[in-house]
Structure 1
Amino acid sequence: MPNTPDIRDRAMGAIMGAFVGDALGLGPHWYYDLDQLRRDYGDWIDGYTDPRPGRYHEGLKAGQSSQAGFILALTLRSLVERGGYDQEDFCRRLDEELFPHLDGTPASGPGGYTSQSIREAWRRRTVQGRPWGEPGGPADTTEAIERCLAIAVRYALHPGQLATAVARNAALTQGDDLVLSMTVAFCSVLGQLVQGHPLDARISGRLMELVHRGELPFHAVTRDDLQPPRPGDPDPPRAGRFASPDALLSPAYMAAAAADPGVSIEPAWKVSLVYGMPCAIYHQLPAAYYLAARFKHDFESAVLHAVNGGGQNQARAILTGALAGAQTGLRGIPRRFLEGLEDAPALQGLAGALADAAVTG
C-alpha cells in the first residue's frame, strides 16, 4: 500500500477535482449544438466561464459551483462533522439547507438548476410529506455519484463500507437498481484510485476479487479469473444485491481502449460523440472512464476535454475530475483552477479533513 501522504493527496485530488470539473461546466453547460457552443465560447474552453443569458445557470459567475457542487459540499460537511456517513444527518441537511430554497421547478435554488432526482425528492418530502427511506425516483442520471464520490473517498480503504454507504445514500434519490449498481461501481473504482491502483485494463479484475471476497455486493457466477464455474461449485459462488457485475467490468474496457493505439478518438473531446452526449449514466460513465484513463497523468487535459465535448458536460467533467484528481493527486491540479474556484480554501479544508479521516479509518 502506498504511503499515507500519497493517499491523502489523492483523496484531496479526487474531491477538489470534482469541484473544479463542476465549476468548469457551469458556463457552457448543456450545449447539444456544438457549433453554437463554439460560437459562444470559442474553439477551446480552457478555464472558468460565465453562463450566457438565458442559459441554465444564468446569473452565476465564472468559478462558482452549480447545485451539484452545493450538494457535494453539503455531503462533505456531514461526513467531516459526523466522522463518517450518518444518513440521518445527511437527510436533515437536505431538509434544512437545500429543500427550503427549492420550488419544484428546474431553474431554482442554489447553483441555478435543480436536477430531476433532487426535484423528485423535494416533492416527496416537501409536498407529499413522505419519509426518507422510501424508494427513490426513476431518474437514470449521475446525480447520486456527484455527491457519493465524497463517501467513496471517505471509505476508500474499506471497500465493503464504501459500497454499503454509497448504496444507502444513492437509494435516497435513485430507485433504479441498474443506476444504483453503476453508482456503486463508479465509487468503487474511485476508491481503488485513491488507494493508488491505476485505472487500466486490470481494474475490473481487482474489483471482481472484492466481489468474490464478499466485499462488494454484486452477483457473480464466474470464478475469480472470470472463468466458468467448475463442477461442484456452489451456484452461484457469490450472490449480491446487484444482479450483474457488468458495471464493475466496464471500466477496464474503456481503459483498454484509451491505451490501445488501434483505437482512435481524436480529438479526445469527441468521446462525447462516441459514448453519447445526453445525461443518462450509461452515456456519462464510459466517457469519464475513457478520459481519466487516457489522461491519467494530465488533470487539465482530462477535464477540459470533458467540458469541450458539449452535452451534459458538467456531469462528465465532475466525474472525470474526480477520477483524474485521484490519479494525479491535489498536487497535479493546476493552481489556476484552484485559485479561480470560489470558496476554494474552505473546500480544500473540508477535503483535507475528509482525507485525514479516510487515512485514519
Structure 2
Amino acid sequence: MSVTSLQDRAAGALMGAFIGDALALGPHWYYNLDELHADYGEWISDYTAPRPGRYHAGLKAGQSSQAGLLLLLTLRSLVECGGYDEDDFCRRLDTELFPLLDGTPMNGPGGYTSQSIREAWRKRVVLGLPWGQVHGNADTTEAAERSLALAVRYALRPAQLASTVCANSALMQSDGTVLAMTVAYGAILGMLVEGHPLDGALAGKLMARVKRGELPFHAVTSGHLQAPQPGRAGASTAGNFPSPDALLGPGFIAQAARDPAIHIEPAWKVSLVYGMPCAVYHQFPAAYYLAARFADDFESAVLHAVNGGGQNQARAILTGALVGAQAGLAAIPRRFIDGLDQHEEMLGLALRLAEQIADEDRGDRPAQNTKS
C-alpha cells in the first residue's frame, strides 16, 4: 500500500468519527421518529443545533458531544506521547474532564455524560479509588468511540492494537461481551485503515490473525470454520474472549449489505432492523451494515446513520470511522470538515497521527534498491 493512501485512510477514519458525532448532536436520542421529523424535517443533511430541553441543549451546530471531546482528548494524548500512554490518558481524565462533572447525566462538557463515565467519576472522585478499580458494567459503545483512535494508531500492529484497545476499554467498562465486541470493532477498523475492504472475506483474514495469536479470541476450528484436524497441534487458540463471533458477525452483515436480494430501504431503517437503543449489540451491526453498503460514499453512510434516530450519535461515530477509513479523508465533503467546531485542531492532530503511522510503515519496510 502507498504511504499516501495509508495516511488518507487513517485521517479519514478519525475525521469521520468527529463528523458523525457532531452531525447527530441536534437530533440525538429521538426514539419517536415523528417527533424527529417534526423538529428537523424528513431528512437531516448537515449540522444542527439541539432544541431547548433536549439532550445537549445550549450547544451550537457543529459542536461535539462528550463522546467527541473524549475522542479528542485521546487523540491529543496519542499524538503528544507518540503512542498510547495509559498514565497520561488517565491524568487527562483526572485533570481535564472529571473536575467538570458532578455525577449527573445532564451535565458536563458536551451537554451529557454517559453511564460509564459517570460511574468512573463516582468511583474515582467520590470514593477515591485508583485507576483499575473504577470500571462499571455499562453495555454501550462508549469505549469504542474513544478507543477507535487507538485502533487507527496501531492499525499496522494488530496484536498491539488489540491489547491497547482492550486495556483502555477496561478502564471504564468491565462486561466481557462489551470488551470483545469493542476489540473486534477496533481490529476491523484497523484492517480498513490497512486497506482491506469491509466484505465477507474479512472474517477469514481476522481468523488468520487469531490463529497467529495476534487477536485474543478463542478458536478451535480449522480453515473456513471447518472442524479441527484430529491430532493436529496448533488448531486451537485460547484467547481472552470465549469465542471469535464478534469477529465473524461483521462479515455476514457486510455480505447482507451487498446482497441484491436483501433490501433495507431507505437505508436509515437499519436502525429499526438492528434496534435504536444504546447497547453494543444494536449499534455495531448497524454501523457495519452502513459502512459496507456505502463503502465509498461517506455522506450517504453518515447521514443514514443520523436519520435513523435513537442512539444515532454512536451509530454515526462508528459508521463515520469505518467509512472514513475506506473512502479516505479526500472523499469526505469539505462542508462537513469546515462546519465542524475545532476542525483545525482535529484535522491537524489526525494528520499528525497519520504521519506517525506512516513513519512506522516506512521503518518496517526494507530499503528500496534504486539501482537499475
Regarding TM over 0.5, the answer is yes
SS at match of 1:225: helix
For the pair 1:197 / 2:186, whether they are aligned, the reply is no
2:49 is equivalent to residue 50 of structure 1? yes
* Contact 1:63 1:340 survives alignment (8 Å): yes
Other-structure match for 2:333: 334
1:1-361 alignment, distance < 5 Å: 2-134=1-133, 136-234=135-233, 237-361=236-360
2:369 aligns with: none
SS of aligned partner of 2:225: coil
Question: Structure 1: which amino acid aligns with 2:58?
Answer: G
**Would the aligned equivalents of 1:135 and 1:175 in 2 still touch at CA under 8 Å?**
no
CA positional deviation for 1:133: 1.1
SS at structure 2 position matched to 1:91: helix
What's the secondary structure of 1:230's corresponding residue? coil
Q: Counterpart amino acid of 1:229? A: P
SS of 1:232's equivalent? coil
Determine helix, strand or coil for the equivalent of 2:214. Answer: coil
Rounded to whole Å, the distance in 1 between the matches of 2:231 and 2:147 is: 39
Deviation of 1:230 after TM superposition, in Å, equals: 1.1
The 8 Å contact of residues 200 and 293 in structure 1, kept in 2 or not, is answered as yes
Is the Cα–Cα contact under 8 Å of residues 221 and 235 in structure 1 kept in the other structure?
A: no
Instruction: State the shift of 1:225 in Å.
Output: 2.2
SS in 1 for 2:242: coil
Residue 110 of structure 2 aligns with an amino acid whose one-letter code is G
Whole-Å separation in 2 of the counterparts to 1:357 and 1:242: 30
Would you say the 8 A contact 2:287–2:318 is kept in 1? yes
1:236 Cα shift? 6.2
CA contact (8 A) 2:120 2:134 kept: no
Q: Give the superposition deviation at 1:226.
A: 1.2
Q: CA deviation at 1:224?
A: 3.0
In structure 1, give the amino acid aligned to 2:194.
Answer: Q
For structure 1, which runs of at least 5 residues remain unmatched after alignment?
none
The answer to which of 142-151 and 234-243 deviates more is: 234-243
CA distance in 2, matches of 1:342, 1:32: 26
Structure 2 unaligned runs (5+)?
A: 361-372
Identity %: 68
Give, in angstroms, the shift of residue 134 of structure 1.
2.1
Q: Which residue of 1 aligns with 2:363?
A: none
**Alignment check: 8 A CA contact 1:204 1:252 kept:** yes
Q: Does the Cα contact within 8 Å between 1:155 and 1:358 map onto a contact in 2?
A: yes
Q: 1:286-336: per-residue Cα shift (whole Å, max 9, x none)?
A: 000000000001000000000000000000000000001001100010000
Query: Is the 8 Å Cα contact of residues 6 and 195 (structure 2) preserved in structure 1?
Result: yes
Amino acid at match of 2:281: Y
CA offsets, 1:121-178, max 9 Å, x none? 0001000000001262010000000000000000001100000100000000110011
User: Matched residue of 1:73: which SS?
Assistant: helix
User: Are the counterparts in 1 of residues 295 and 323 from structure 2 also a CA contact under 8 Å?
Assistant: yes
Q: What amino acid maps onto 1:278 in structure 2?
A: P
Which whole-Å CA distance do the structure 2 matches of 1:116 and 1:217 have between them? 27
Say if 1:135 and 1:171, in contact at 8 Å, map to a contact too: no
Name the CA distance, whole Å, in 2 between partners of 1:12 and 1:122.
Answer: 31
Give CA deviations for 1:170-217 in whole Å, capped at 9, x if unaligned: 000110011000000000000000000000011111100000000000
For residues 281 and 225 of structure 1, what CA distance do their matches in structure 2 show?
26
CA offset digits 1:223-268 (Å, max 9, x no partner) = 1321110110348611111011000001101100000011100000
**How many residues matched?**
360
1: CA distance, partners of 2:223 / 2:81:
37
Q: TM-score, normalised on structure 2?
A: 0.96
Q: AA paired with 2:158?
A: P
**Separation of aligned partners in 2, 1:322 and 1:354:** 15
Counterpart of 1:28, as a letter, is: P
**1:310 match: secondary structure:** coil
Partners in 2 of 1:358 and 1:54 — Cα distance?
43
Supply the distance in 1 between the matched residues of 2:332 and 2:26 (Cα, whole angstroms): 20
Distance 1:338 1:229 in 2: 49
